[in-house]
Amino acid sequence: CPEPEFDHRSLFDRLEEQKRKRELDYEEAHKLKNMIKGLDDEEVEFLDLVDRSKLEEERRTSAEDAREIKDFRNAVASLQERHIEELINTEIRTKPALPNQRYKLIFATVQLVSF
């Protein structure tokens, strides 16, 4: 096992060197932190404005989507009602319904409406 090399410098010099190394390591570790500056008031106001604009756009898009979905559902309901009326009118015109056929027609109507 080789013996550690003997340092002929004084204790003060060795401690001073260790202190310099620690200070350099500390400065290097905190260099990036010191380079980052905080935001000034104008930058904060601008970022707030951008956030508000994005939020408003999302609200508008959401409201438009909800309106289109409502219109679509109304259109589907209207088409279903017309289809049911056509079925009923066709059934009435063709022949008088027997009691069993009436139940089938009512059942089909209920199924279409519940969609």
- pLDDT tens digit string along 27-57? 888 887 777 777 888 999 999 999 999 999 9
pTM (2 decimals)?
A: 0.45
* Rg of the chain on CA atoms, in Å: 41
In sequence order, the 6+-apart residues with CB closer than 8 A to the CB of 115 are: 80
Query: Cβ distance 105 to 99 under 8 Å?
Result: no
- Residue 7 CB partners (closer than 8 Å, separation 6+): 14
